[in-house]
Amino acid sequence: MKKKPSLKDIAERVGVSTALVSYVLNGKMKGRISKEVASRIKAVAKELNYHPNQIARSLKTNKTNSIGLLLADISNPFSSQIARIIENEADKLGYAVIIGSSDESIEKSEKIIDVFLNRQVDGLILSLPANSDHIVSDLKTRDIPFVLVDRYFPAIPTNTVAIDNYTASEDVVNHLLENKYKNIGVITYDTTLVHLNERLRGAIEQTKANCKIGKVRLGHIQEDVESAIESFLNTKSPIEAIFFTSNLLTISGLKYLNKQRVIIPDDLGIIAFDKTDAFDLFYTTITYVNQPLPLLGKEAVRLIHQAISDNKKKEQIFLSADLIIRESTSRK
C-alpha cells in the first residue's frame, strides 16, 4: 500500500505552506485567499486524489466522527435491522459506525466498550445485557456521551430511546379479551431486563393477574418454551391464547405448536411481540406488535449527536408500538 498524498505533498507541488492548503480545502478564511492559488490547490488535490487523513485530523480536533454501536446479538434480525438503520442515519450526519456484539455477556460488553473508547469514538449507542447497570452508571460518571436503545435502566436517568412496552402489552391483552380469549398465557424470558419485564407487567396488570406465565432461560429457549406450552395446555382450564414477548420465543413456540398439531387460531390464539420473516412461512398470518425500528434508530442517532455536542441534557424517549392484527387471533 503506497503512501497516500498528504497536505505536505500538495503544498510542495503548489509551492505554498501546508496551512494554506488546509485552509483552502476546508473552505476556511474565505475571502482572504487569492482565487488563483485556491484553484491551483484544489486542482492539485484532485489530481493527487487527496483525501485527508482522518486519523491525524482526529488527533488534532479530538473528534473521530465515529460512534460505537453495541448490540446484544448482531445475528438476531431485530439487532441487524437496527444496525442498518443506525448506520444509515449516522452516515447522514457524517459518523462512521463501529459495531460490536456482546452475545448478552456483561464482560464482553465491557470489553467492547473499552475498545470503542480507546478508539476515541465520539459517542456510544448501547443495547446492554441484563444486570449491567454498573456499566451505565460508570459511563455516566465519566461523562461519556451515550444513548441506550431498546433496553433501558429506569433507575438511572440517561439518554434513552425505547418502546413503550407496557402500553403495547396492554393493547395486546385488550385485543385478546375483545376477541373472547380469556385464558391467556404469556411466554417471556427469565430475566431482569426491564423492557421485557414491562411487557410482562402490562399483561399481568391488564388481565388483573389472570394470566399464566412461562419463563424461559436464555440458552434453553426451545426446551423451556416447549415445557411452558405443555404446562399451559395440559391442564383443566387450558390457555386459549399465547402472547410471546420476543421474536425468538415466537419462532420456538410456533415450531413446537406445529409439531404438536395445535391449529392456529382455532385451537389457540397467538400474538407476538416483534415480527420476523419467518412468519411468512407459517400457514396462518400472525398478529404482532410492530416496533417502529426506523424511528427508534433515527432518534438514537439524533440523541447521540446531541449528546456529543452537549452532554448536559438527558432525554428519555418512549415510542409507541402498534398492533398489527392478522389471523392468528381471529378464531371462529
Partner DNA sequence: AATCTTTGTTTAAACGATTAAGCTTAGTGA
Partner DNA sequence: TCACTAAGCTTAATCGTTTAAACAAAGATT
111: left (phi over 0), alpha (psi -120 to 50) or beta: alpha
- In the list DNA, a second copy, none, the entry touching 280 (Cβ below 5 to 8 angstroms by class) is a second copy
User: Which DSSP category does 5 fall into?
Assistant: P
Residue 17 binds which one of DNA, a second copy, none, with CB within 5 to 8 A depending on kind? DNA
The answer to whether residues 194 and 253 touch, using CB atoms and an 8 Å cutoff, is no
Q: What distance, in Å, lies between the first and last C-alpha atoms of the chain? A: 68
Nearer to a second copy, 11 or 248 (CB): 248
Give CA–CA dist 293/280, Å, rounded: 19
Cell output for 297: 434508530
Residues making contact with DNA (CB under 7 A): 3-4, 6-8, 15-20, 22-23, 25-26, 28-29, 31-34, 36-38, 50, 52-53, 56-57, 59-62
23 binds, among a second copy, DNA, none (CB under 5 to 8 A by kind): DNA
Question: In the numeric block, which cell numbers belong to residue 59?
Answer: 488527533
For 129, other C-beta atoms within 10 Å of its C-beta total 22
Residue 119's binding partner among a second copy, DNA, none (Cβ under 5 to 8 angstroms by kind) is a second copy
Q: How far is the CB of 207 from a second copy (least distance, A)?
A: 27
Name which of 34 and 141 has its Cβ closer to DNA. 34
CB 90 within 8 A of CB 33: no
Q: Name the residue nearer to DNA (CB basis): 51 or 236.
A: 51
Minimum CB distance to a second copy, residue 73 (Å): 8
Closest separation in Å from C-beta 277 to a second copy: 5
Shortest distance (Å) from residue 192 CB to a second copy = 25
Note the residues at the interface with a second copy (CB under 8 A): 1-2, 51-56, 58-59, 64, 66, 73-75, 77, 79-81, 83-84, 87-88, 91, 96-101, 114-115, 117-120, 142-145, 251, 254-255, 258, 276-283, 311
Phi, psi of 318 (to 5 degrees): -120, 120
How many Cα atoms are found within 13 Å in the side-chain-facing hemisphere of 239?
A: 26
User: Cα(306)–Cα(314) distance, rounded to whole angstroms?
Assistant: 10
Selection from a second copy, DNA, none that 269 binds (CB < 5 to 8 A by kind) is none
